């Protein structure tokens, strides 16, 4: 029979990625965790039912409250987030947004206050500033990277500081030890870090003093662009409050998705280490290209948070953001020239994806509204996959050729059409 290590103590991340959360299997002596495809669980007697409700027997009752496959994935994620801790818990959800929204619903009430850095996923910002506002929760948005503004924003009503690190799309890296020190001066404040772009391979916020860490497992953790999931990790006493809220709100993860997540997690260190290396090489190359106005990647000395990234990150991830010397339409034509990278949202998977941020994520806003949020018309977000780095670079060269031709007055639209015909 397959069995998980009795303790994660002393085991390294790659070992935990494969073996943590792998309980002994009664089903066919399976090496992998089977899919427990059931919505409900039978009791042998009313006495067993009473034992369960009175805490004498730990077992499953109903699919919204627990599933063996989901629980195995939660145990693996908890071990990856803080290998040396025996009290870390994890709770999985049907999406990353279900994870963050349920966590905030569990921790906040009418009259509370949230501090939110301005740069980050727009749906998270919309939930905090619009949806929570309807429930009487107020928010102060501060500029990304402005530690003094963040400190000034904390008030007696503040209960949560919520930030990504690295952020989307400019990959700002929060000085987490400084934030933790700030939080210590305000003991009622919980620090939540969305570390989707970092993964436990590159940074583990709980070890640095954060209260909770959130991931969209859809991205690197699943890693194959084939599932939706989200997770909240932290001390089990705090996570249990969020789990109780999930059981009421209902944003549970399907066991099939949990199975795919378990499979993806086993190769997480290998994939992220490769993406770290590829993305750094691509970022350095992009900085040398005349059609590129600026590159945003924490591994570059030119990034505003490079020094912080060197202290806190073991790698800068697989996302590279860069601004083309092009307007909205030319940037769109340039991305159409890609043969390899797919024009698609999301990131962190084995396939290289590319998007024009102004169109993909902010299509409904005017140019002025986008500019107010710092979204340039030529901003491109590249998520490198596991293809050969030279092939990815050659694909970007096609993008830059369209920009070059447009700048020189050549027919960029015709060039794009010709390139697409060859693919």
Give the residue among 183, 122, 171, 124 at the shortest CA–CA distance from 144: 171
How many angstroms separate the CA atoms of 63 and 342, rounded?
Answer: 36
Coil, strand, or helix at residue 52?
helix
How many angstroms separate the CA atoms of 358 and 367, rounded?
Answer: 9
Q: How far is the CA of 121 from the CAs of 49, 162, 350, in angstroms?
A: 44, 12, 22
User: What would the two tokens of residue 65 be?
Assistant: 């409250």
How many angstroms separate the CA atoms of 379 and 384, rounded?
Answer: 16
**312 near 176, Cβ under 8 Å?**
yes
> Which residue has 């962190």 as its token pair?
348
How many angstroms separate the CA atoms of 6 and 61, rounded?
Answer: 26
The pairing of beta strand 230-235 with beta strand 88-93? antiparallel
Strand partners, 161: 115, 191
DSSP calls for 212-255: EEEEETTTTTT-SS----EEEEEEHHHHHHHHHHHHHH--PPPH
How many angstroms separate the CA atoms of 214 and 192, rounded?
Answer: 7
- CA atoms within 13 A of residue 60's CA, in its CB half-sphere: 17
The phi-psi region of residue 366 (left if phi > 0; otherwise alpha if psi is between -120 and 50; otherwise beta) is beta
For the chain, the helix, strand and coil percentages under 3-state DSSP, each to the nearest 5? 40, 15, 45
Known catalytic residues? 64, 121, 194, 219
**189 near 161, Cβ under 8 Å?**
yes
User: What would the two tokens of residue 326 be?
Assistant: 């092009």
């Amino acid at each position: 029979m397959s069995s998980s290590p009795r303790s994660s103590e002393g085991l390294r991340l790659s070992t935990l990625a494969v073996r943590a959360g792998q309980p002994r299997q009664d089903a066919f002596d399976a090496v992998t965790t089977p899919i427990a495809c059931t919505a409900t669980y039978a009791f042998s007697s009313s006495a067993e039912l009473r034992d369960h409700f009175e805490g004498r027997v730990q077992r499953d009752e109903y699919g919204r409250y627990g599933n063996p496959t989901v629980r195995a994935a939660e145990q693996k994620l908890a071990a990856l987030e803080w290998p040396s801790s025996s009290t870390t818990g994890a709770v999985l959800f049907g999406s990353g947004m279900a994870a963050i929204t349920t966590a905030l619903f569990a921790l906040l009430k009418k009259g509370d206050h949230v501090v939110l850095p301005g740069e980050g996923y727009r749906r998270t910002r919309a939930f905090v500033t619009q949806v929570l506002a309807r429930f009487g929760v107020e928010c102060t948005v501060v500029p990304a990277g402005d530690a003094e503004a963040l400190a000034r924003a904390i008030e007696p009503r503040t209960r949560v500081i919520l930030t990504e690190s690295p952020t989307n799309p400019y990959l700002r890296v929060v000085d987490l030890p400084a934030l933790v020190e700030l939080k210590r001066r305000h003991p009622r404040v919980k620090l939540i870090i969305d570390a989707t772009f970092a993964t436990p391979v590159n940074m583990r916020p709980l070890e640095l003093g954060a209260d909770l860490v959130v991931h969209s497992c859809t991205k690197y953790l699943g890693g194959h662009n084939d599932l939706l999931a989200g997770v909240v990790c932290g001390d089990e006493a705090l996570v249990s409050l969020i789990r109780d809220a999930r059981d009421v709100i209902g944003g549970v993860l399907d066991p099939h998705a949990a199975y795919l997540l378990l499979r993806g997690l086993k190769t997480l260190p290998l994939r992220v280490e490769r993406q770290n290396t590829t993305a750094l090489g691509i970022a350095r190359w992009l900085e040398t290209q005349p059609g590129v106005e600026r590159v945003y990647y924490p591994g570059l000395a030119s990034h505003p948070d490079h020094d912080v990234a060197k202290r806190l990150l073991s790698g800068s991830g697989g996302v590279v953001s860069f601004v083309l010397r092009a307007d909205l339409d030319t940037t769109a034509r340039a991305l159409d020239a890609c043969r390899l990278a797919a024009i698609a949202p999301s990131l962190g998977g084995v396939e290289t994806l590319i998007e024009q941020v102004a169109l993909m994520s902010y299509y409904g806003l005017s140019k002025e509204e986008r500019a107010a949020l710092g979204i340039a018309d030529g901003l491109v977000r590249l998520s490198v996959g596991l293809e050969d780095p030279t092939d990815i670079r050659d694909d970007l060269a096609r993008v830059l050729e369209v920009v070059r031709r447009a700048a020189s007055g050549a027919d960029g639209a015709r060039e794009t059409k010709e390139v697409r015909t060859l693919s």
